[in-house]
Amino acid sequence: MREGTDMFTLPSLHKARLSRKMEEEMKSHRKFVFVLLALLVLAFSLATDSQPASADAGGLQTNKLDPALLAAIRANPNGVFRVIVRAVASDSKHLSKHSNDDRTRGLEERVKNSHGMNVHGLPLIGGAAAKLPAAAIAVLSRDPFVSDIVLDRHMQGMGNPAAALQSIYAQLVRAPDVWAQGNTGQGVGVAVVDSGVLPVDDLQLPNSRLVATVDIVSGGTTPSDPGGHGTHVAGIVGGNGTATAGAWKGIAPSANIINVRVIDGNGNTNLSTVVRGIQWVVANRRAYNIKVMNLSLGGASTQSYRTDPLDSAVEMAWASGIFVVVAAGNSGPLPTTIASPGNDPFVVTVGALDDNGTLTTLDDTIAPFSSHGPNLDTNRTSLHPVGASCRPARPAVFWIPCSRIASPTCSISGCRARPWQRRSWRARLP
């Protein structure tokens, strides 16, 4: 019986094995076909991507130009334009400062050879700023070494002097409670990238905490602030109340201020000047223990934060370990009004909250001038601390209430400066 059973089951086993073998071969065949199709799709995609974009009638490779620059050139084909040109990124996975510098030097040579004027290297973002005729921009747009070309757009400081109620921002953020613990931001550097900072009593007495000055606008070394905006910002960040017998203090009254002037006497600047200021901050962050950078400025952008040069600059600052605080803007109350670089998800973007001069939050409202998200490609909102009106630092006893976005932005910078007195923090890219 056992032999009969064995003789009966052997052919069945053979058939089962044969069936499994055929099934495995069919699976292997299907896998081969799938891989082949995937490779064909990839090859087609690479071939398509490698083909250069066609140039328009003016010789411009339009996919490399931001919309604002393209519109300006088409409106004035014989014009000269202030632009920022960026080089293509290196294929290396281990980019270094030296490789970025080499890219920038090579790009600067190309720009100069294309009749570029007033050329400035921007190694922080792998670019160069210059004035170029439209014909030269067309030539550079077709250069495979060039990644993109953008308009060196106009920007301005956020916040104008205005009569308003005195703010009680320090009490609302509970700054006195933190001061009582001895945490006042001592030794921490806060870079104020603005219109300049004057050596006022609140920053000079009893010992100077205005530890460094760089003037990107004029190239000078003497602190100046024709408009007063930057001094206002610095006072809210780190004023110690000397000029008012302690009545009005900044959020981090022992922090060091690094004065980076990028805004002229009329409150105006441009994209490349701000990038150069940020570049200086990143390069000197260790020398002055810069942990916070305040940017109470901004400008409209037609680009995504993924390609905007200013967004690239603030992201590089963030990646180097600097906490970046940026003004949302004064273009509210409508949505999609946040200025660049406040549209970047790697920075803290600050709007304004009107506290109506009281400690209760029941009567708080978002200031009508405060800009709102969402943005072009992010559902960006902004932090709204108190600050529709607060006291700035001014020379001698000349005090005026100042309002708008600059005030809440620098109050957040001051808040961020205090913890570094006792612990370290370093940003990491996700």
pLDDT beyond 50 at 427:
no
Q: Are residues 145 and 290 in the same domain?
A: no
Q: What is the pLDDT of residue 399?
A: 32
pLDDT beyond 50 at 271:
yes
Q: Which domain holds residue 74?
A: 62-152
Residue with tokens 């950078």: 293
**Of the residues 125, 152, 179, the one at which a domain ends:** 152
Q: Are residues 72 and 200 in the same domain?
A: no
Least confident residue range of 47-61, 71-85, 88-102, 405-419:
405-419
- CA distance linking residue 165 with residue 388, whole number of Å: 9
Q: Are residues 284 and 330 in the same domain?
A: yes
Where residue 218 sits, what CATH number does that domain have? 3.40.50.200
- CA distance linking residue 80 with residue 369, whole number of Å: 35
pLDDT beyond 90 at 51:
no
Q: Is residue 10 part of a domain?
A: no
**Of the residues 118, 152, 186, the one at which a domain ends:** 152
pLDDT beyond 50 at 93:
no
Q: Are residues 197 and 169 in the same domain?
A: yes
One-letter amino acid identity for 281? Answer: V
Q: Are residues 142 and 215 in the same domain?
A: no
Peptide bond into 341 cis (omega under 30): yes
Q: What is the pLDDT of residue 374?
A: 67
pLDDT beyond 60 at 1:
no
Task: Indicate the pLDDT class of residue 168, thresholds 50, 70 and 90.
Answer: low
**Of the residues 152, 171, 193, the one at which a domain ends:** 152
pLDDT beyond 90 at 404:
no
Task: Indicate the pLDDT class of residue 28, thresholds 50, 70 and 90.
Answer: low
Q: Is residue 1 part of a domain?
A: no
- Torsion, Cα 154 221 316 239, to 10 degrees, reads -90
The model's pLDDT over 341-363, given as tens digits with 9 standing for 90+, comes to: 888 889 888 877 777 777 777 77
Choice between 257 and 171, residue whose per-residue pLDDT is larger: 257
pLDDT beyond 60 at 415:
no
Q: Is residue 77 part of a domain?
A: yes
What is the mean predicted confidence (pLDDT) over 249-272? 94
Least confident residue range of 188-197, 222-231, 363-372:
363-372
Q: What is the mean pLDDT of the chain?
A: 77
Q: Are residues 137 and 193 in the same domain?
A: no
| Domains identified in the chain, total number | 2
Residue pair 374/332 in contact by the 8 Å Cβ criterion: no
Specify the DSSP class assigned to residue 59. S
What is the mean predicted confidence (pLDDT) over 177-181? 83
Least confident residue range of 49-58, 284-293, 298-307:
49-58
Specify the DSSP class assigned to residue 80. E
Give the distance, in angstroms, between the CA of residue 125 and the centroid of all CA atoms in the same chain: 11
Quick one: what percent of the chain has pLDDT higher than 70? 65
Choice between 195 and 46, residue whose per-residue pLDDT is larger: 195
What is the mean predicted confidence (pLDDT) over 300-328? 91
Q: Is residue 260 part of a domain?
A: yes
Task: Indicate the pLDDT class of residue 20, thresholds 50, 70 and 90.
Answer: low
Residue 326's SS3 state is strand
Q: What is the pLDDT of residue 112?
A: 95
Where residue 68 sits, what CATH number does that domain have? 3.30.70.80
Residue 38, token pair as written in the block: 């995937």
Q: Are residues 311 and 378 in the same domain?
A: yes
Q: What is the pLDDT of residue 372?
A: 66
Q: Is residue 57 part of a domain?
A: no
Q: What is the pLDDT of residue 389?
A: 42
Q: What is the pLDDT of residue 349?
A: 84
Q: What is the pLDDT of residue 331?
A: 67
Q: Are residues 233 and 377 in the same domain?
A: yes
Q: Are residues 133 and 161 in the same domain?
A: no
Q: Is residue 43 part of a domain?
A: no
Q: Is residue 2 part of a domain?
A: no
Helices (H) then strands (E): counts for the chain: 11, 17
Q: Are residues 236 and 370 in the same domain?
A: yes
Burial letters for 269-308: b for 16+ Cβ neighbours within 10 Å, e otherwise? bbbbbbbbbbbbbbebbeebebbbbbbbbbbebbbebeeb
Give the distance, in angstroms, between the CA of residue 186 and the centroid of all CA atoms in the same chain: 26
- CA distance linking residue 51 with residue 45, whole number of Å: 10
Q: What is the pLDDT of residue 95?
A: 46
Q: What is the pLDDT of residue 360?
A: 73
Q: Is residue 172 part of a domain?
A: yes
Q: Are residues 264 and 360 in the same domain?
A: yes
Task: Indicate the pLDDT class of residue 378, thresholds 50, 70 and 90.
Answer: low
Q: What is the pLDDT of residue 413?
A: 57
Q: Are residues 289 and 316 in the same domain?
A: yes
